[in-house]
Amino acid sequence: MFADKMILRIPGPTPIPPRVQQAMNQPMIGHRSGQFSDLFASTAERLRPYFGTSGDVFILAGSGTSALEMSVVNTLQPGEEAAVLVSGAFGERFAKICERYGIVVHRLEVPWGEAVTAEKLATFLADKPSVQAVFATYCETSTGVQNPIRELAQVVREKSDALFIVDAVSCLGAVACEMDEWGVDIVVTGSQKAFMLPTGLAFLAASKRAWEVIDRKKPLAFYLDLKAYRKSFADKTTPYTPAVSLVFGLAEVCNMLEEEGLPAIIKRHELMRDMTRAAMRALNIPLMAQDEFAAATVTSCHPQDAFDPEQLRKVLKNHHNIVIAGGQQHLKGKIFRIGHMGYCEPLDVLQVVAAIELSLRQIGAPAELGAGVKAAQEVLLTHV
């Protein structure tokens, strides 16, 4: 076994392509130089198709959570009301950020493993006329659920005057996102998921409607002042020190994404999702999300009492150098999650499924060797 050959199949951070690693190893340049400004401006513009916007995409040095917080502190004031759609750990994070700033939070909670539907949201908003922003999670990483953002955006538009703000950290760049067409006001994401970079960059795009609100508000934070980013963006830079090496890498990521094309990227992720789900079913491992709302980037499995997910994860890591994720909060020790996004392709899915089969046998769980692989292969054959 090669100790340096650890294979990440978690929902972030994800593996980094060698050509992106090489791009990040370029010699450092001045972050206020013309060379960097040109790179920064052109790279930011190349991000627009993945958001589905004609507007600017802002890049800041920080994790995805920094962009979540940025979306809160620039659109709301203490005492104002927000609705937060909570279908897992990261919806709950949005609610906690709002509460930290004194915002009145109305939680629309659904059981973990379920999606927030348009019907539920319409009913929820009916008696909340003072809500000024609705926060949603596109892909709920903790459960493998992909919420129907397009339909939810339509409800927000029809039932309220609120902004619709979406956390797309664990799926943007792998799924369809048409924020302008759908009527989404703010979309945020991070670098370490489908964008195939290390943690350290966050991205945010805002609609004209969102900017009308932002311009009326006093930002509740200094570093996360979106108006400061807009002012610097006009000069092709950032208000504070950017992560230069990560932007080098981001430019190379854009090259890779453009070479494959967004429609093909979306199809690849849907294929990997379908392969993974078929394999788990063939191994009689229950899935958390319904097919209709299954995330394209992560699959969450709930073996219940059939075997210990933590034992499975331990054997996968120690014997096969493959890392998958466990559960979070009340699901810790009860589920396992397989990431299939970014620098990942269908044959990688076959690899992790084969290793799961072996590991199940090693921990004494019932598993027919080859059953999951065969099921995944059959799905793959329909696409080749």
As annotated, the binding site for substrate includes 337
Q: How far apart are CA 214 and CA 209, in angstroms?
A: 9
Instruction: Give the residue ranges of DSSP H helices in 28-87.
Output: 34-46, 48-51, 64-73
Take residue 249 and report the two structure tokens written for it: 């890498």
Take residue 106 and report the two structure tokens written for it: 């109305």
Q: How far apart are CA 265 and CA 30, in angstroms?
A: 34
Q: How far apart are CA 219 and CA 78, in angstroms?
A: 11
Residues near 321 by beta carbon (within 8 Å), at least 6 away in sequence = 1, 2, 5, 6, 7
Strand duo 322-326 + 7-9: pairing:
parallel
Q: At what angle do helices 346-362 and 262-282 cross, to 10 degrees?
A: 20
- In DSSP terms, 173 is beta-bridged to none
Show binding-site residues: 337
- Closest C-alpha to 250, from 2, 30, 60, 4: 60
